[in-house]
A and B are shown apart, each in its own frame.
Chain A
Amino acid sequence: MPQIITEQNLRNLIDLLVKEAKLVVGPKLSGSVVLYEPLTAGSDLTLDALPRRSSKELFFPICEDILSYKRENGAMKVNDVDRSKFPEAVLIGAPPCDAGSPAILDAVMSWDYKDEFYLERRRKSTIVGIACTKGDDACFCRAVGLAPDAEAGSDLFLTPLKDGSYACNAVTEKGQALVAAHQNLFSEGAGAEPKPFVDQAVAKLDLVKIKKWLEEHFEDPLWEKIADICVGCGACAFICPACHCFDINDEGSTDDGVRRKHWDACGFAKFTNHASGHNPRDVQNKRYRNRIMHKFKYYDDKFGKTLCTGCGRCIRACPVGIDIAEILETINTKQD
């Protein structure tokens, strides 16, 4: 029997979680844009627009300190950040294209090197996903194998119903625990009919075929044709739910400073710049090629997953109108 939660109770749930001193993060109007930000009350929750940035930053902050250092009496004193103090968090109101990203990223973050910063935050968070009834011509989650009602990554999954309430499915134990702890806010019942989903402009892609083409076309005129206009900013990567590259920088002086980890993007010219001055990805189309290769080939090679959720953010934000869905469609229709 599915659980039902009314919109009001959903907001009440947030209020309660905040009172429990949990970090509750959800879509919130921040200035003129909707962003995932800490909610201070249920009333902050804004579900009518896809946030500009993805929810990955809950696990993979834009910028975080790793350690600090100071030279004292000739010896360098290093202090690691105590990760055990990371807060318990609940991500609430993330559509499948955001909620699904940890399910993809967990693989790389716990591979040969375990990124304890990411993993500790992951362990301490519960994801409340929500089926997506919005969408525009940039959306293409179905094309990459996801769907507006995909539950991957969510601990608890909400489906908006026509009467404004939500059908809830506790996907994982964390989700069950969240419901169990606040059982009074949920009711049992069939509920109303679900809200319909929006049609998407991009047809389902044959990701196997695309990967095969990529394998065989590291060198191809297509790259120059589609990617020479890329101006090399990091907008696509930074707002992407799946991009996870970061840089580490020491800030301060050689004697006193902080080591910080922050987002990086393969579109930047300096991304692969070697200390020698040599840059293997010396022109922009090579950098853009890497973006596509990483998402649809390399990541699949290593982890059997596609590094894209089809949220369409990069399409909407690209300063020069590069459309990843269009590129995938082009590759999809190639014969050789």
Chain B
Amino acid sequence: MHAATKQHDFEPKIVAFVCTWCTYAGADLAGTSRMQYPPNVRVLKFPCTGRIDPVFILRAFQKGADGVLVSGCHPGDCHYMAGNFHARRRFAAFRALLDFVGVDLNRLQFSWVSAAEGGKWVDVVTELTERVRTMGPMPEFKELEHEEQWSGAINTPELKEAYDSIG
């Protein structure tokens, strides 16, 4: 018997930046083990978490992500020896910055998922998806995308409508 697929009002967009050696392989393992998790996540593969620039996270939020996951090899397991160690410091700093400007860090998850941890991948993705689902859409960056300085704004209702029809 299949469990009835739950219908939700809000399907969050979750973006995962993962390293190819551990987490991507872990997600593959979840697949070969036929584990189930919410289909909201979109995976972008990197050689190493060391390659992941904070700008990518920012950009993902700007482009509509409601939650972002960054995941790589456990400390000491990095295929490139130290990429994840550098990433760990970089993201510790970046988190502090986002927090300071008022971004809810519950939308940004970091994890170590090894190639053997298909189950952990499922847990991490499910937990983030469900958490973000209860939080609702992330309005902050998306709103900014549509805001203009007053002088460039086309703020009459008709024009706004005309403009939206273009968009």
Do A and B pair up? The answer is: yes
Q: Tell me the complex Cα distance, A194–B114, Å.
A: 79
Q: Is A57 an interface residue (CB 8 A)?
A: yes
Seen from chain B, the residues whose Cβ lies within 8 Å of a Cβ on chain A are: 148-152, 154-156, 158-159, 162-163, 166-167
Known: A82-B159, A85-B158. A64 touches B166 (CB 8 A): no
A63 touches B150 (CB 8 A): no
Contact with B along A24-51 (1 / 0, CB 8 A): 0000000000000110000000000000
B interface SS class: helix
Q: How far is the CA of A65 from the CA of B166 in the complex (A)?
A: 12
What 10 A-B pairs come out closest when comparing CB atoms?
Answer: A61-B151, A85-B159, A61-B152, A64-B152, A79-B166, A57-B151, A63-B152, A62-B149, A68-B166, A38-B150
- Interface Cβ pair total, 8 Å cutoff: 40
User: Which of A64, A68, A85 has a CB less than 8 Å from the CB of B151?
Assistant: A64
Is the Cβ of B167 less than 8 Å from the Cβ of A68?
A: yes
A64→B154 CA distance, assembly (Å): 9
| Contact, CB under 8 Å: A85 / B154 | yes
A58 at the B interface (CB under 8 A): yes
Contacts of B166 in A (CB 8 A): 68, 79
**B158 contacts across to A, CB distance below 8 A:** 85
Kindly identify which residue among B152, B155, B167 contacts A87, using a CB–CB cutoff of 8 Å: B155
Residues of A within 8 A of B151 (CB): 57-58, 60-62, 64
A82 to B149, CA, bound (A): 18
CB distance from B163 to the nearest CB of A (A): 7
Q: Return chain A residues, CB-CB under 8 Å to B167.
A: 68
Check if B148 sits within 8 Å of A82, measured CB to CB. Answer: no
Distance (whole angstroms) from the CB of A80 to the closest CB of chain B: 9
